[in-house]
Structure 1
Amino acid sequence: MANTFIRVALAQVMNDVNLEEVCAVAAAKGAAVVVFPEMFSNGYSRFDSECAVSRKAWIDGAAPLDGPYLDRFREAARDNGLAIVATLLEQGEVKPFNAAVLIDDTGEIVLHQRKRHICFFDVPEEACAPGESSSVAKLKTKVGEVAIGIMICMDREFPNVASDLVREGADIILVPNSCPLVDDPSVGDVRVAGMRALAFQSAAGIAVANYPAPKNDGHSFAVDALGKIIVMGGVQQEVIIVDFDLDEIRVVQKQEWFRRL
C-alpha cells in the first residue's frame, strides 16, 4: 500500500503580490495548505523608533481577525479548496500582536497563534505584546486529519513552544518567518540547523516560509521527522512545494515515543 502524503506550499513572496493568484498556484500544484511569511499584512515593515507619529501609524495599521484583510484569505481558501496560514499584525487592546491563523478549506479559522517570543529588543516588534500559549488544530484534508501547529519566526529558537506543540500531538509544525536563514552575517545557517535538530527532537515535520531576497535571503525549507531536509528554495520569489510522508512521520513518532513525552 502506498504511503500517505500531504502537500504543503511555501509562499516565498513579498506582500505586494496578488495573494489570490499565489493561492491558485498552490492549489493547482496540489497543495492542501499554503504558508505565507511572517506579518504579511505589512510585509514585516519597520518604523522609525524615534518618531512617535511613525510608530503610531504602524500600530494603527494593525488588522482585526474579523476584517477585510483576513476575509481575502478566507475567500481564497474557499475558492481554491485549500487551507492557508495567513499572518498579520493583529489589533490588540493595549499593544498589537504578531499573529498567524490557520484557515481551513471552508474559510473558517481553526487555529489562532500569537508569537510568544517577540524580538522586544528591536523595531518593529518592540511595539508588540507576546502571546501566551500554543495549541494544535486537527486539520481535515483529503488524506484525513493532520495535527498542525504553528510557531512564528523566533519562537523556533525556544524549547517551550515546540514542547507545547509536541504535547498537543503535532504531526507538522508550520513556521512563518522573516529573517536570513542561510546567509546571516553573524550566524550563517544556524537557523536551518536548529530546525533540523528541532524536528528530530520533536518527531514532527517542519516547514518554514520566508521572504525572498532582497528583503531576506529566501531559502524557505522543510525537514522530515528525522531532521533531514526535504526541500529548500532559492533566494527568488517562488512557491515551493513539499510533500510530507504522514505514514513515515507516524512511524517515527511511534519508534521515538520518548521524544514526545
Structure 2
Amino acid sequence: MMRIALVQQRAAAADPQENLRRGVDACTQAAELGADLVVFPELWQIGYSACPEDEGRTQAWRDLAISDCDPWLGGFQKVARDHGIAVVPTFLREERAGVSNAAAVIDRSGQLRSVYRKVHLCDFSWERALTPGDGFEAVTIETAAGDVRLGVMICYDREFPEAARSLALDGAELIVCPNACMLCDDRMAQIRTRAFENSAALAVANYPLPHMNGRSCVFDGRAVAQGRPRDHRLAVAGPRADLVCADLDLAALREYRKDTIWGVSHRRPHAYRALTALRPPRPAGVGQNGAPR
C-alpha cells in the first residue's frame, strides 16, 4: 500500500525561501503521517505568482528561475533522504532560452530522477512568458512502498487526453498532477476520466482558498470490481488548507491492469492518424478565419 500526501496549502507569492520552509515542513508532517510520496501544487517555489507585464518587473520575475542543481531543490532532496519519502516539488526552471514551469521527481534516497516541463501552457494568459516542454515520459522511482512507474503532467495538461495517454503508454501506473486552477465539477470529471480511461491512478494537488478552491484528489483507476462498477475515488479534499492523504493499493491496481478492457491494450493506433497530424483538419463548416461557412 502506498500512501500519497497532497500538499493543499498556501504558498508565498514570489518568495522561494519561505516556500522552501513551508514545503519542508509539509514533507516532515507527511512523513509523520506515514506518507511514501508527497506532491505539491503548480509552481510552488514562487507561489504560482504571475509574470508581470512591465519589462523591469518581468526580468525580476525571470530571475527567480533556478537550475536543477539549485539549493532550493537540494532542500527537498535532503528532506526526502532524511525521511525516506519521495517528493514532487514544483518550480520555475531556468532554461537555455527562457524559463519553464517544472516539476522535479525526487526518490526516497534524495536522488533527482527526472524533471518534467509543462507542455500545454496557458499561453492565453501570462503563461505565454514560459517555454513549453516537449514530451511526456514516465520514470520508475523507489519509495518505501516499493517501486512505482510514475508520470507527471501539470494543470492544463490534464485537459488534453493525449497527455495522460502518452504517460500510460510509457507504463505509468501513477500519474501526479500539480495544479493551480479552480477545480469545477467538469474538471473533477476530467480527472476521474483520465484515471478511468487509462487504468492508472491519478493524484492532483491544488491550492486552497483564497488562491484556488482546493479539491485535491486521488482516483485509483480501478473502475470495476467483481464485474460491477466501483467508485475509484480515494480522496477529495474540501476548499481549505489541508494535507490530503490517500492509500493506493498498487498490487490491486497491477492485477486490475492485467485484464481490464480499458487502458492501452485494446487500442487501434492506425485509426488515430489525425491525432498526431501537425495540421489537423478543421471541423466541418469552419472557414479559414474560423468563422462558420
Same fold (TM over 0.5): yes
- TM-score, normalised to structure 1, is 0.92
What residue in structure 1 maps to residue 172 of structure 2?
Answer: 170
- Cα shift at 1:86: 0.7
What residue in structure 2 maps to residue 100 of structure 1?
Answer: 103
Match of 1:109 among 107, 112, 116: 112
What residue in structure 1 maps to residue 273 of structure 2?
Answer: none
Query: Residues of 2 paired with 1:249 and 1:230: CA distance?
Result: 13
What residue in structure 2 maps to residue 254 of structure 1?
Answer: 258
Query: Residues of 2 paired with 1:135 and 1:257: CA distance?
Result: 23
Match runs of 1:148-163 below 5 Å: 148-163=150-165
State whether residues 59 and 96 of structure 1, in contact with CA within 8 Å, keep that contact through their aligned partners in structure 2: yes
2:27 paired with 1:23: yes
Equivalent pairs, count: 249
Query: Residues of 2 paired with 1:258 and 1:11: CA distance?
Result: 30
State the identity as a percent: 37
What residue in structure 1 maps to residue 238 of structure 2?
Answer: 234
What residue in structure 2 maps to residue 53 of structure 1?
Answer: 56
What residue in structure 1 maps to residue 37 of structure 2?
Answer: 33
Write the deviation string for residues 70-107 of structure 1: whole angstroms up to 9, x where unpaired. Answer: 01111111111101001001001111010001101111
State whether residues 97 and 129 of structure 1, in contact with CA within 8 Å, keep that contact through their aligned partners in structure 2: yes
Moved over 6 A (4+): none
- TM-score, normalised to structure 2, is 0.82
- Cα shift at 1:135: 1.1
Write the deviation string for residues 152-200 of structure 1: whole angstroms up to 9, x where unpaired. Answer: 1111111221121111111110110000113xxxxxx111100111111
Bigger RCO of structures 1 and 2 (CA < 8 A, at least 6 apart) = 1
- Cα shift at 1:237: 1.3
Where in structure 2 are there 5+ consecutive unaligned residues?
13-18, 224-231, 266-293
Query: Residues of 1 paired with 2:74 and 2:144: CA distance?
Result: 24
Query: Residues of 2 paired with 1:143 and 1:79: CA distance?
Result: 16
State whether residues 219 and 233 of structure 1, in contact with CA within 8 Å, keep that contact through their aligned partners in structure 2: yes
Give the secondary structure class of the aligned counterpart of 1:41: helix
Amino acid at match of 2:110: G
Larger Rg computed on CA atoms:
2
What residue in structure 1 maps to residue 146 of structure 2?
Answer: 144
Give the secondary structure class of the aligned counterpart of 1:120: coil
Give the secondary structure class of the aligned counterpart of 1:259: coil
RMSD after superposition: 1.3
Give the secondary structure class of the aligned counterpart of 1:252: helix
Match of 2:78 among 67, 75, 84: 75
Query: Residues of 2 paired with 1:26 and 1:248: CA distance?
Result: 24
